[in-house]
Every structure is written in structure tokens, then in C-alpha cells.
Amino acid sequence: MNPRLLHAGAWWMWALGLAAAASRTTNPLILGLIIAITGLVVSSRAEKAPWARAYSSALILGAIVMGVRLLFGLFFGLALGDQQLFALPQAPLPSWAQGIRIGGSITSEQLLLALFDGLRLATIIVCIGAANALSSPLRLLKSVPGAIYELGVAIVVAMSLVPTLIADITRVREARRLRGRTTSGARGFLGLVTPVLEGSLRRSLDLAAAMDSRGYGRIEAVPLRTRRGTQGLLVVGLMSLVVGMYLFLAGTGSSWIGPVALVIGLIAGVAGLITTGRRTSRSRYRPDPWLWTEWSVAVGGWSAAATIWWQMSHNAAALEPSLTPLQWPGLPALPLIGLAIATITALATPPLPSDETSSRVPPELIAAEASA
Amino acid sequence: MIHLNDVSITYSGESSAVLSNVTLTVPEGELCLVVGPSGSGKTTLLRLLNGLVPHFSGGTLTGSVVINGRDTATHPPRELADVVGFVGQDPTAGFVTDTVEDELAYAMESLGIETDVMRRRVEETLDLLGLTALRRRALRSLSGGEAQRVAIGAALTSHPQILVLDEPTSALDPSAADEVLASLQRLVHDLGMTVVLAEHRLERVVQYADRVILVPGSGAPLIIGEPATVMKHSPVAPPVVELGRQAGWDEIALSVRDARRSADELRQRFTDQPSSLSLFTVPEPLSEQGDCVLALKDVQVAYGRREVLHGLSLQLHAGEVVAVMGRNGAGKSTMLSTMVGLRTPFKGTVRVLGVDPATLKPQDLVARIGLVPQQAGDLLYAESVDLECRQTDRDAGLAPGTTATMLATIAPWIKASSHPSDLSEGSRLALALAVVLAPDPAVLLLDEPTRGLDYQAKQHLMKILANAAQRGRTIVLATHDVELAAELSTRTVIVADVAIAMNALSDIP
């Protein structure tokens, strides 16, 4: 296969699929596998670019989130299980606060519950980090519909801040060393904050000015009635999407409201986006192609989610390891197949082009266009 | 095309106007050069032309700026994007996409231009600026000159009638700068485009300009006129104009070629009575006599898999001034950061006064070797100049007041209470220099020190460096500035294709 970069949306679909899978299980084996898969794919399919650091940042953030969840699990929350590990001094609470504890005895059940729950959150964060690392935020922007393009730019600028922040930290640390100042320890770290934030603020302003000078945000005049109609469509669409999504993911409520709300939301949302899109007169130069590889990656990611949902409706117990009584979690076969599909489709993508030949468009396609 | 009518601009929080009562008309098809000391308001004048001032900067604008019939008071920059192409000081700061082709198309996409028209214009622009080989390159992999040309190309594809450029050649090596200027020439001549550009290095551009706008600074009225007339009395003038003034020519020569033609009489005078025109006394080359202070032996540095320096061996002695030259991206900056121990070579050794700089504690490092990076401001982060000085004394373990004294000898005009980021480019460099020089390191490295400096600031810098060299300090300058190298250096090292291509005493032709 000729080296090329995949459509940014494909990687986002893939990673969101894995994140959706992770959100429905606390089985540490499955979660660990998901993290391992993202790591493998990022190491072989992420460009050597500033945003590729998003993955390692996500790993660190995930670890922090897990730590915080663990602390909360240890000190607060419900009393659970009887396998006491050690005891903390317990704050006496009035009778109406029964069931809540602060401190007290710590059981291995509580510890594991907090740990697994933290791991789930961390996995979701790592999946989002992987999506960030695998696709340039700028390329993603190319595929954003015209209506929310400006919003998209704001988000992309904010997202691209993180990797450049890391580059800035390196630069400022070097400068500090040149000044003869220590760069390690808490004081060293505090000394970095102001110059780094100042620098990124200045850069954002520069970028904003450059974009505005090049016509970003030009709009056409739209009659008031059309505008009102569009706003209505968007609000209705968004609300039913939110409701539908909640019912769908939470798995509660009656069976038909969720899907119906989702469909209504999608239709209203798409219609709203199309009418709003008329306001901007943007055109596209060589849009990123969406070929069968993109389809396979996106479907691969969501097949992991689909198998988890299937598992949930048939044997949900395997997804949530039993804590009372304590048992070693099993690895159900079905989600394993889904994860395997996600891994294979992601690794079967074309290899990365080098910086010198960086290209989104496969050469065959360019040749075809030239002859047409 | 461009009409400024009685324009004054005052930034918020400032008591005096940056520009006051500016009335200016630039007709179509002119190449207009904006000159002036650093911090005089050149950038403000340029940013007025597409509405970035006041829409982005804030401040109060009186009078009117009308560009091609559109008033910037009612038209923000985006509404002028089809008329004015704007290229800022740092091209990479304005890149929105990630490959060359996409970047060229960006402005057209915003303007909603048809796909086939976009294709055609991208091809035209690639050819016009000689970017064809770069079309699929990632923007982050471009060298300074390439990035600048891409930025110009990106401003051109929307076919603006006016192109505004802020110091387009200040970051470029001489040949890349010539390429950029040649492209601008073509735009003016072939396409009839109106070009307004600000520059510090006038020697390359002033002969091409149809008109010069001198911004004297501190709200003084602009001086507008023919290049030769304005240059005669300009406080910023290239060396060739300086020569004309000293020789007392009526007709100021703007290019070296013109100067050579009018210099017959002058040449005669100097053959009869030989004397040195040099402004400073630079120490005699004593390369092999002084002690060896900095030794690189077979150093190899790589970023990832890309080799940046290969088999670099170099010995520098006390009192030498070494100019490191070479194209953009040849590895000059890497060489300096390797010397100071920020990059660790994967092979070979670096010794500063016999010690590997990477192993030194920061405090011991600054007493031996100092580096002023390309962005001198990186070194500064205190709230005020005074705090910056005191912090340096504390960090380097110096007697209180050492840095302040150093600063007073280098740049006595800097107020102790001002914020480092409010200083002009030249003053900021002076402050960074004071910070690095205060611990009195044996070796002083400067990366592109004259970038963005006006002539006066540069003269001043050269004096400071010549002084340090006379005290037996070793100075290494990584620079594109041939004039600086010629005036100051005793030895020149040329880096090309990741290795040293030449290492010779500067006097040898």
C-alpha cells in the first residue's frame, strides 16, 4: 500500500468506538487490552509531530484520574465487603447519613471497586488521547461541516495548545538552565508556568490575527426567518440527540424512546447544519478522501463497542467482575473478537508517509484527477 | 489604492500616540518600503492597512483608513482578505494548516473560490515562488526561507491587489532573502501588485523601492518620498548610504554598484593615504596562540533519525571571534546548543575549559559558557528589568548589583522598572546579553544576534562584543549577517550539509 495519512475522522471514529466499549465495562483485563491496543496503534500509525505527544499526556492524565478515584474510594463512599485490609480513623456521622462513611475500615472490595472504576475512566481518556495523536487536529478541521467550522477552529486551536505547551516547556527549561537556574523540583516547575502561558497566549493571538487576515469567519447575509428556523432545528436536534444518547448508553428507560430520539435528533441536526452552512461561503480544496480503508478502520473501532453491547445484553456479569465474593475476572470471548477486529483494521492501514512526502491523497487518485 | 487620512492611533493604557496625523496615499503598482528605528511603529502602520489595528490590537483610531474603497472602521480584516494579503513577522506563527498545498489554498477556501480555480491558482503560485518541489511537504519540516516563501504564496493565492509584508527577510540567509525579494520584484513588475513592506536590512531592498516611508517614531510625522531623498537624512541607513554621506556625495548611491561607480575619486584618496574605515579595533587573529577554551571532537548530533551534525571537530581559543555561517537549516543553532550542553551528541565529546558542559550544575555552567538564543526574550521572565538583574545575581552567585552594573554599561537607557516584554527588540537583546555576560563566561555564544535590530542597535552590539573579545573572551556568532561577520570575526566557520565546509581565518579571501 502506498504511504498516506488516513482521514482524521476515521481515527476519531475508531478511538471513540474503543472509548464507548471501555465505558461499558470495569473488567480490568478488557480495559488493559484496550489501552495496549491504542498504544500499539499509536506507536505505529502516529506521525512524528507535536500532537503525537497527546498520547503520553493522556496516559499521565489517566494515571492521575485513577489515583484521585482511588483516594476518594478509600476515604469516602459506601461500606462494602468484609475482607478488611486496614482501618483508618472514622469520622462519626449522624444517623441520617447512614451508609456514608468518611474513613473507617478499608476492604479489598472497596479498593478494587475504586481501582476498576478509575481504570475505566483512564481508558476512556487514553482513547481520546490516541485519537488526538493519530490525527492532526488541523486535518480534522478540514472535514468539519461549514456550519460549525468556526466552533471547530476554536476547539482545534485549544487542542493544539497542549502539544505546543509541551514544546514550550522544553524551551523554557533550556533557557532556565542557560540562566544558571535549577530546572528540577517544585520551584523549577513553578518558574515555568508564567513564561509558558505567556508564550502560548501570544501565539494564539498571532494565529487568530493571521487567520482573520486570510478571511476566516467571513459570513454572508441571511434573512432573519431562515436564521430563526435554523436555530430552532439545531436546538431541537441537539436536545433529542442528548436524550437519545443518554438513554442508549445508560441502558435504562423504555426500549423505543432512545432510538427514536436519536433518529429525530440526527435528522434535525443534519438539516440545521445544512441550512446554517449556507451562511458561510467556504469552499474545499482537495477534501480528504474517505476510502474503504477509512470505512474499515471506523467499523473496526465500533465493532469493539458492538461486541461489548452484545455481551452486555447476553451475559453482563462477565463485563463487571464480581467483588462479592472476590473473583478473578474472566475474559469473555465475544469482546475479545471485537477488540481483535479493531486492532487488525487499524494496523492494516497504509504506512505513514515521511515528512518530505506528506500526503493525504493517494497517488493513484491524483493521477486519475490529472487525466480527467 | 491605499488612502490614510489624518490617522492617529493610541494603544490603550498608553499616553502618547504611536502614529499621529498620518496622511498617506499609495497608488497602484508601487513597491513601498517602510523604514524606521525598531519600535517606531512600522508594524503598527502595516497592520493598519488590513484592519488588524485596531480590530485585533485594541486602541483608539482617529481619521480614516480606506483600502480600495473599503473603510477599515467598518470592515474587519476578514472582509479585506480579498484585497490585502498580509504576511506577518513570523511566518510559522500564521500557518493554519499542515501541508504546503493546503496552506496555499486556505485563504481561497475562506473566500469560497471554485475548486478548479483554486487548483489553477495553487499551481501558478507554486511556479511563481519556486515551491513546486515542496508542494506535499509538511509545513513543520520547512526551513526559514521556504516557510517565508510559502507564507507569501499563501497570501498571494487569493489574488489581492495589495501585499503587505512585515520584515520578510529578517530571518533568512542572504540567498533565501534574495529569492524572496526577487519574487516580490516579479509581483510588482509582472502583476502590477502594490507591495508595502517593512525592513531593517535596507541594503537588499532600498534600490528596488519606488518610495520610502520613514517612520521616525514617538509620534513624529512620517517622511515620505523618493528613496534617495529620504535616505539622505534617514536615521536608519544601510552602510552604502552611510558611505555616501561621509564621502559627501550629492546623489546618494543606493546600491553597491552605484556606489562603486561614483567612488572613483574616493578610491583615489585612499590609495594616496591608506587608512582603515573599520569602526572598531578588533583584536588581531590569534587563533593558535590563546588557550583552547572550547573543543569539539568528532561530534555527531541527530534529531530522531535525521543527522544534524556529522563529525564536527573544532577548537576555539581565548580572544577569538568566530562567525558560524551557512544556509537556513544547516545546523548552526544545533552547533551552538551542543557547545553549551543542551544537546548531547550521540558520538564525540564537547569540552568547555576541559569539562563536559552537560554535566555541569547550571550555576557552574553560566560562569564558563553563555548562550543568547535566537529569541533573546526566552531568557527573560521576571516582572521587571530590575528583578531580572537581581535574579541573575542570585542564580549565578554574584555580588548584588553586578548584573545591573553590566546592564548600565551595555544599555544605560533601559529603565529598571520596565517590563522585559515591553522593551524594543534591541533593548531586550541588550538585557539578555547583560544577563549572560554578568557571570563573565569565558565563552559567549550568540545565535542570530542582529535579527530585528536596526543599524544603531547593531553598531552598539558590535562595540560590546569587540570589547569582550579584547578582554580575552571567546565569542561565537551564528549569523546570516555578512556585515557583522566581516566587521567582527577573526575566523569563519561555514557549515553546510551537516558538516564543516570551511574553517579559516576571516581575512583570507
Range in A52-61, A305-314, A355-364, B213-222 the model is least confident about:
A355-364
Asked if A278 has any chain B CB less than 8 Å from its own CB, the reply is no
Residues of A in contact with B155 (CB under 8 A): 214
Beta bridge partners of B224: B213
Q: Which of B98, B112, B337 sits opposite A139 (nearest CB)?
A: B98
Q: How far apart are CA B484 and CA B465, in angstroms?
A: 11
Percent of chain B with pLDDT over 70: 95
Q: Do A205 and B56 touch (CB under 8 A)?
A: yes
Q: Which of B106, B141, B421 sits opposite A214 (nearest CB)?
A: B106
Q: How far apart are CA A34 and CA B425, in angstroms?
A: 51
Model pLDDT, residue B287: 46
Asked if B77 has any chain A CB less than 8 Å from its own CB, the reply is yes
- ipTM, two decimals, is 0.81
Beta bridge partners of B505: B491
Mean pLDDT rounded to a whole number for chain A: 81
Range B333-341 average pLDDT: 90
Q: Which of A5-9, B406-410, B473-477 has the highest mean pLDDT?
A: B473-477
Q: State the pTM of this model.
A: 0.77
| In the predicted structure, residue A14 carries a pLDDT above the cut 70 | yes
Q: What angle, 0 to 180 degrees and rounded to 10, lies between the N-to-C axes of helices B402-410 and B425-437?
A: 140
Mutation target for A interface from B109, B122, B365, B391: give the one with most A CBs within 10 A. Answer: B109
Q: How far apart are CA A344 and CA A354, in angstroms?
A: 23
Range in A18-27, A61-70, A161-170, A342-351 the model is least confident about:
A161-170
Three-class SS state of B295: strand
| In the predicted structure, residue B152 carries a pLDDT above the cut 80 | yes
B435 → chain A, closest CA residue: A179
Which residue, B322, B273, B307, is CA-closest to B503?
B322
Residues of A in contact with B77 (CB under 8 A): 209, 212-213
Q: Which of A76-90, A268-282, A310-324, B361-375 has the highest mean pLDDT?
A: B361-375
| In the predicted structure, residue B286 carries a pLDDT above the cut 70 | no
Mutation target for A interface from B55, B98, B306: give the one with most A CBs within 10 A. Answer: B98
Q: How far apart are CA A271 and CA A7, in angstroms?
A: 24
Model pLDDT, residue A264: 87
Q: Which of B88, B113, B138 sits opposite A210 (nearest CB)?
A: B88
Nearest-CA distance from A361 to chain B in Å? 10
Cell of B413: 537607557
Model pLDDT, residue B288: 52
Q: Which residue has the higher pLDDT, A362 or A25?
A: A25
Q: Do A191 and B113 touch (CB under 8 A)?
A: no
Query: B118-133, pLDDT tens digit by residue?
Result: 999 999 899 888 888 8
Percent of chain A with pLDDT over 90: 24
| Terminal CA-CA length for chain A | 23
| In the predicted structure, residue B442 carries a pLDDT above the cut 80 | yes
Map grid coordinates 432512545 to a residue: A258
Q: Do A174 and B342 touch (CB under 8 A)?
A: yes
| In the predicted structure, residue A358 carries a pLDDT above the cut 70 | no
Cell of A57: 499526556
Residues of B in contact with A203 (CB under 8 A): 93
Can you list the domains of chain B with their CATH numbers? 2-237 (3.40.50.300), 238-277 (no CATH), 292-505 (3.40.50.300)
Question: B501-506, long-range: CB within 8 Å, 24+ apart, which pairs?
Answer: B501/B326, B503/B314, B505/B285, B505/B287, B506/B285, B506/B323
Map grid coordinates 548552526 to a residue: B332
* 3-state SS, one letter per residue, for A290-344: CCHHHHHHHHHHHHHHHHHHHHHHHHHHHHCCCCCCCCCCCCCHHHHHHHHHHHH
Model pLDDT, residue B475: 94
- Which residues, numbered 114 to 143 in chain A, qualify as contacts with chain B under a Cβ-Cβ cut-off of 8 Å? 136, 138-139, 142
Q: Which of A129-133, A148-152, A156-160 has the highest mean pLDDT?
A: A129-133
Q: Do A179 and B371 touch (CB under 8 A)?
A: no
Query: B154-206, pLDDT tens digit by residue?
Result: 998 988 999 999 988 877 778 878 888 888 888 888 888 999 999 887 888 88
Range in A12-16, A346-350, B215-219, B288-292 the model is least confident about:
B288-292
Nearest-CA distance from A173 to chain B in Å? 10
Query: A169-186, pLDDT tens digit by residue?
Result: 888 888 888 888 776 777
Q: Where are the domains of chain A?
A: 1-137+287-364, 144-219, 221-279
Nearest-CA distance from B334 to chain A in Å? 13
| In the predicted structure, residue A362 carries a pLDDT above the cut 60 | no
Nearest-CA distance from A295 to chain B in Å? 24
Range B425-453 average pLDDT: 88
Percent of chain A with pLDDT over 70: 89
In the structure, what pLDDT confidence band is assigned to residue B284 with cuts at 50, 70 and 90? low
Mean pLDDT rounded to a whole number for chain B: 86
